[in-house]
Every structure is written in structure tokens, then in C-alpha cells.
Amino acid sequence: MSDVEFDWQREQRTGLAEAVFCSGKSLQQLQSIVTAANDRKTSLLLTRLDSRTAAQLVAGGIENLEWNEASGVAVLDNSLPALTRSDCLIVTAGTTDMPVALEAQQTLRFYGLDVAVLADCGVAGLWRLTSKIDVLNKAPVIIAVAGMEGALFPVLGGLVSGLVIAVPRSSGYGVAKGGQAALSSALATCAPGVVTVNIDNGFGAACAMLKILQKTTADPTRSSA
């Protein structure tokens, strides 16, 4: 009996397909999942996949697996949708936040949505953020990724008209260690229009953006397999 029971109907129920969280799964478990997806001609999103395991999957015959090193995200490509440019944005406070931002970006790309990343916009150099205010105000939804004290979240919430999805980052030291200070900042902000996902959860932030857009615009997701 297999120890993997994949939810192949999740996209029909919720609008978003089940993704594979690879951390903690064995190579054999991952091979079983991606082989089943290929048998169904279904594309698959895999998060937190390390380089060694990605290489082992490809060497084991999974040739349609495309791995993005910077984000740790891989895509099993069985006819993914063409990309559509979006006015939504992903904003980072610093370059340390990029892996989480890119996880969000790759998740959105899996569903056919091309969302730009504005990197290194932390409030320690506030001009880096305010100089982009025109493009920021065009975004209906912004994913903001920040560690340390998480000051980016309330500042963005007080500057832009769109919804801000805060992603606390597990960067920093002392009281900021592990992303707890950034999480507290995101949850305690008095800036309206800021919602929060878990620490380092770029995937979850992207899914939240997709769900919002599904209800306000034409569905950005691909057709179910």
C-alpha cells in the first residue's frame, strides 16, 4: 500500500491544485508522486526541493521536471499555461528575502501569472520604496516579504491602495531571530489592508493572491487536467 494519497481533485474543488512540499519526503515518495502526475498528464508544482533530489529525479527518468535553484521550486511541465503579465507585485525589503519572493513568483507562474519582483525596497532607505510609488499604486495586490522588524508591512499599507499580503521572513538576529519580530509587526500593524501569512510562506502568499484574483478578475489559473 502506498504511503502517498494525492489529492488530484483539489483544483476542481478549490481552484488551486495540490502542491508537493518536498522537505521531509523521501526520493521514493517524490518519484511516486511525479510519476503518477505524468501518467495523468498533469502538471505539478513542487516546493522546497533541494538540488540533489531534483537531480536524482531527473536522472531517474523525470525529464520534464524544471527546477529553479534560487527559489527551490520545481515544475513538472505537462502543458503549462502561457504567461499573462499582471499589475500585481512582489516587494522585498532586502536581498535576503529573495528566496521567499521567488517561491511566490514561481508559484504564480505555474498558474500562468507573470508578476514582477521589486527587490531591496526596505525602509532603512525609504527613497527606494517611495521612488516606486507610481508602479506600486497600480498593483491591486502586493506580496511584501520582510525580515528583521518587518517595518515594510505597515509602511506599504500606509502608502498604497491595493491589498498587502505580508510574508514575515526568518532573517535577522536577536529578538528578530526566526522571523518572530516581523510576524508580530505584520499582525499588530494598524495600517489597514494588510493581511499576513506564515513565516517564509511565499507559496501561501501566492495562493492567497490567486484566490483574490479569481474572485475579482477572469480566472488566472489553468484549466484542470
- Closest by Cα among 216, 213, 28 to 107: 213
Instruction: Say whether pLDDT at 1 is over 80.
Output: no
Q: Which residues is 166 bridged to in the sheet? A: 144, 196
| Burial degree of 54 (CB within 10 A; 0-12, 13-18, 19+) | buried
Q: Which three cell numbers stand for residue 186?
A: 505584520
- Closest by Cα among 137, 16, 174, 22 to 4: 22
Instruction: Say whether pLDDT at 221 is over 70.
Output: no
Q: Which three cell numbers stand for residue 166?
A: 505580508
Q: Please work out, in degrees rounded to the nearest 5, the angle formed at the alpha carbon of residue 13 by the alpha carbons of 10 and 16.
A: 55
CA atoms of 13 and 9, how far apart (whole Å): 7
Q: How far is CA 35 from CA 16, 27, 30, in A?
A: 20, 12, 8
Residue with cell 501566492: 206
Residue pLDDT, tens place only, 144-188: 999 999 999 999 999 999 999 999 999 988 989 999 999 999 999
Residue pLDDT, tens place only, 125-135: 999 999 999 99
The answer to whether the CB of 22 falls within 8 A of the CB of 53 is: yes
Number of H helices, E strands in the chain: 9, 9
* DSSP result, 22-84: -TT--HHHHHHHHHHHHHTT--EEEES--HHHHHHHHHTT-TTEEEETTTTEEEE-SSPPPPE
Res 5: pLDDT: 82
Res 106: pLDDT: 96
The number of beta carbons lying within 10 Å of the beta carbon of residue 142 is 25
DSSP conformational letter for 19: P
Instruction: Say whether pLDDT at 61 is over 90.
Output: no
Instruction: Read off the pLDDT band of 215 (50, 70, 90).
Output: confident
The number of beta carbons lying within 10 Å of the beta carbon of residue 191 is 16
Res 162: pLDDT: 94
The third-level CATH classification (topology) of the domain covering 84-216 is Rossmann fold (3.40.50)
CA atoms of 28 and 146, how far apart (whole Å): 35
